[in-house]
């Protein structure tokens, strides 16, 4: 994986050129490599050996405390000491001023080694970055700085039992108590937050929850819709302006842990806010400090959405990668079956390793095309985030990110899950047992189509908003990029693929128009998920062609990349015909079928 990562980062995406920008001027190819080396080493030593342990010894709640394996404490501490929690932050707040693309690449090692043990740090970093962007100077100093230092960890509390995809239905209430608290306008929160990752543990002395809640309107009722949602910092234990614990416990408590299919190393919690178990500052109600303006909660929360969704997509890719490498290794060792010749099989000859069978190679090549293609997609998007923040065409980068982010989140969630399934298949019966790691990768992976916006919600976002916004400007920006690759490829050996890609692009454009031709959202969006699949496969075909064009030489590495690109065009891209057919004719079946028939 490291060779592919380095190739994509430095040869294909020219990440080294970023050092000419002022923000990254103190970096060099050597410092970037050193960051990747450090992450690779910590992930190998502190995370990978304990990935199975974190799964089998899942978090346990004894009614008072949550117990985690000691290895999780040590791994997260090693991560914090590496400085990666503040990787992208300014030097003057203890950060490394790393480009997003290098930060993401470094974090990829942890996702591959143990995605669940890595969850605590990823959430903390996202939480603290958000406070840096929207918090007051004192909130940054007290909360974000201590999270970057690894003294406290953070969470994101959006979901509630009755409000998952539809966050406008959030029911947690926040009532103003003291406008003038130095840590920010102080509110009292009451409500329940469901599915909160890292919501309870004793890895750090405190937990900084970032919570979405509604401030009641003048009539005392919550304002309907997303406009009424605000964002609050709710520390598990109260702290003062000098970031010292005051000794008081806040009124936020663990109601129970959820027991999950996978991702078991990260605690997952139902949290009760303001039920009166504790009485901070003399009364019940969870103390929370407003971040940003009232009603601006979702906007603040989604400010970091690009990075969060690329992070989920990259995590999905890495789980796929872990399964691919494990099944590749196995296929080289496992003797089973003999070659079939015109004269039949020679039972007296030795068995061949299963990697010699074309069907096993098909499964390996499919995995390779999904995981390496997925890695290219995520790094490309992370590089666009750097263009957005430090490049000279921020608007262009934003337009591309708008259409690519739903793909960055959803495509690996679906196709690297398929890669994990193929990895199990390559191992046969052994793959289905807990004696080999591949079944855990599949279980861990299954989450990714569910959280950070479900697959269906990503599809609605893509077809319902992103490709039609500003008269289709984002789709046009993407089409122009794809066209550039086609033009570079058309006079090379890749001309057949270039023509195939041009046809696919035209098909996507045509289906988009036909989906919306009646202007009826219900008609257009009934087939949003097949649209997402076709769109994603077209994007991946484009990236594979682009990657193939930058591969040099005839060695195994280069030939492997070419084979994966050819596989994608031969076996995968043709699938879009069926997906786009239902989109273009606005197939009414799923919309019209009666619930009683199901």
Ligand X SMILES: Cc1cc2nc3c(=O)[nH]c(=O)nc-3n(C[C@H](O)[C@H](O)[C@H](O)COP(=O)(O)OP(=O)(O)OC[C@H]3O[C@@H](n4cnc5c(N)ncnc54)[C@H](O)[C@@H]3O)c2cc1C
* Residue ranges in contact with ligand X by CB under 6 A: 156-159, 164-165, 195-197, 260, 263, 268, 447, 450-451, 454, 456-457, 460
CB nearer ligand X, residue 197 or residue 440: 197
How far apart CA 443 and CA 54 sit, in angstroms, is 13
How far apart CA 252 and CA 270 sit, in angstroms, is 10
CB nearer ligand X, residue 255 or residue 281: 255
How far apart CA 331 and CA 335 sit, in angstroms, is 8
Give the per-residue SS3 of 489-543.
HCCCCCHHHHHHHHHHHHHHHHHHHHHCCCCCHHHHHCCHHHHHHHHHHHHHHHH
CB nearer ligand X, residue 4 or residue 114: 114
Nearest-approach distance from CB 86 to ligand X, in angstroms? 21
Nearest-approach distance from CB 461 to ligand X, in angstroms? 11
Structure tokens that stand for 280 in this block = 């901070």
- 414 counts as catalytic: no
Nearest-approach distance from CB 458 to ligand X, in angstroms? 9
CB nearer ligand X, residue 192 or residue 334: 192
**Pick from 114, 288, 270, 128: nearest CA to 192:** 270
| Bridge partner list, 253 | 272
Residue nearest to ligand X (CB): 164
Computed over its alpha carbons, how large is the radius of gyration of the chain? 25
**Catalytic residue chosen out of the listed positions 200, 372, 439, 452:** 452
How far apart CA 412 and CA 380 sit, in angstroms, is 14
Nearest-approach distance from CB 263 to ligand X, in angstroms? 5
Q: Are 71 and 116 in contact (CB under 8 A)?
A: no
Q: Which residues of 421-441 are buried (b: 16+ CB within 10 A; e: fewer)?
A: bbbbbbbeeebeeeebbbbbb
CB nearer ligand X, residue 196 or residue 438: 196
How far apart CA 204 and CA 77 sit, in angstroms, is 9
**Pick from 125, 93, 124, 115: nearest CA to 207:** 124
Nearest-approach distance from CB 471 to ligand X, in angstroms? 25
Nearest-approach distance from CB 21 to ligand X, in angstroms? 33
CB nearer ligand X, residue 97 or residue 226: 226
Spatial CB neighbours of 206, under 8 Å, sequence gap ≥ 6? 146, 151, 152, 235, 236, 237, 239, 245
Nearest-approach distance from CB 267 to ligand X, in angstroms? 10
CB nearer ligand X, residue 190 or residue 507: 190
- The secondary structure of 259-287 as a DSSP string is --SS-TTS-EEEEEESSSSS-GGGSSSEE
CB nearer ligand X, residue 264 or residue 334: 264
How far apart CA 356 and CA 513 sit, in angstroms, is 46
How far apart CA 526 and CA 224 sit, in angstroms, is 26
Nearest-approach distance from CB 408 to ligand X, in angstroms? 17
Spatial CB neighbours of 101, under 8 Å, sequence gap ≥ 6? 9, 13, 15, 18, 379, 382, 383, 385, 386
Q: DSSP secondary-structure letter at 250?
A: P
Catalytic residues: 452
């Amino acid at each position: 994986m490291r060779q592919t990562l380095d190739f994509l980062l430095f040869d294909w995406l020219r990440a080294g050129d970023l050092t000419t920008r002022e923000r990254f001027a103190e970096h060099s190819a050597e410092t970037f490599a050193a960051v990747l080396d450090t992450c690779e080493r910590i992930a190998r030593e502190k995370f990978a050996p304990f990935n199975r342990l974190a799964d089998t010894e899942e978090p346990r709640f004894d009614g008072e405390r949550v117990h985690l394996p000691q290895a999780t404490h040590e791994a997260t501490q090693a991560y914090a000491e590496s400085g990666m929690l503040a990787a992208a932050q300014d030097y003057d707040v203890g950060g490394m001023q790393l480009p997003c693309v290098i930060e993401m690449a470094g974090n990829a090692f942890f996702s591959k080694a143990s995605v669940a043990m890595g969850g605590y740090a990823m959430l903390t970093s996202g939480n603290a970055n958000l406070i840096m962007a929207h918090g007051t100077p004192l909130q940054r100093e007290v909360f974000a700085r201590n999270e970057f230092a690894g003294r406290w960890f953070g969470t994101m509390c959006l979901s509630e039992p009755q409000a998952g995809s539809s966050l406008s239905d959030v029911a947690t209430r926040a009532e103003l108590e003291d406008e003038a608290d130095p840590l920010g306008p102080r509110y009292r929160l009451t409500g329940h937050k469901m599915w909160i990752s890292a919501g309870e543990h004793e890895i750090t002395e405190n937990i900084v929850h970032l919570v979405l809640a509604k401030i009641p309107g003048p009539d005392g009722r919550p304002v309907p819709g997303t406009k009424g949602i605000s964002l609050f910092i709710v520390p598990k234990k109260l702290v003062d302006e000098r970031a010292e614990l005051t000794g008081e416990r806040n009124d936020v408590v663990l109601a129970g842990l959820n027991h999950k299919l996978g991702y078991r190393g990260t605690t997952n919690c139902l949290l009760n806010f303001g039920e009166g178990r504790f009485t901070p500052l003399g009364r019940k109600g969870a103390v929370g400090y407003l971040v940003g303006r009232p009603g601006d909660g979702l906007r603040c929360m989604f400010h970091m959405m690009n990075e969060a969704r690329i992070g989920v997509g990259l995590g999905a890719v890495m789980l796929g990668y872990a399964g691919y490498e494990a099944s590749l290794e196995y296929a080289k060792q496992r003797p089973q079956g003999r070659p079939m010749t015109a004269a039949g099989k020679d039972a007296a000859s030795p068995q061949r390793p299963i990697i010699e069978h074309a069907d096993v190679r098909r499964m390996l090549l499919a995995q390779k095309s999904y995981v390496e293609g997925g890695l290219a997609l995520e790094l490309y998007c992370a590089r666009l985030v750097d263009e957005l923040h430090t490049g000279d065409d921020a608007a262009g980068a934003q337009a591309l990110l708008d259409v690519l982010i739903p793909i960055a989140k959803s495509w690996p969630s679906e196709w690297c899950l398929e890669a994990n399934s193929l990895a199990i298949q390559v191992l046969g019966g052994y793959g289905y047992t807990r004696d080999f790691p591949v079944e855990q990768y599949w279980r861990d992976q299954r989450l990714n189509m569910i959280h950070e916006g479900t697959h269906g919600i990503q599809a609605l976002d893509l077809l319902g908003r992103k490709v039609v916004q500003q008269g289709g400007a984002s789709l046009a920006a993407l089409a122009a990029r794809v066209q550039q690759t086609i033009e570079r490829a058309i006079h090379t050996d890749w001309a057949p693929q270039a023509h195939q890609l041009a046809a696919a692009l035209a098909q996507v454009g045509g289906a988009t128009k036909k989906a919306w031709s009646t202007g009826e959202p219900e008609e257009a969006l009934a087939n949003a998920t097949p649209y997402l699949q076709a769109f994603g496969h077209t994007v991946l075909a484009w990236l594979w062609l682009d990657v193939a064009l930058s591969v040099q030489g005839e060695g195994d590495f280069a030939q492997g990349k070419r084979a994966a690109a050819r596989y994608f065009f031969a076996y995968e891209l043709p699938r879009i015909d069926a997906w786009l057919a239902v989109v273009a004719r606005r197939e009414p079946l799923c919309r019209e079928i009666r619930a009683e028939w199901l």
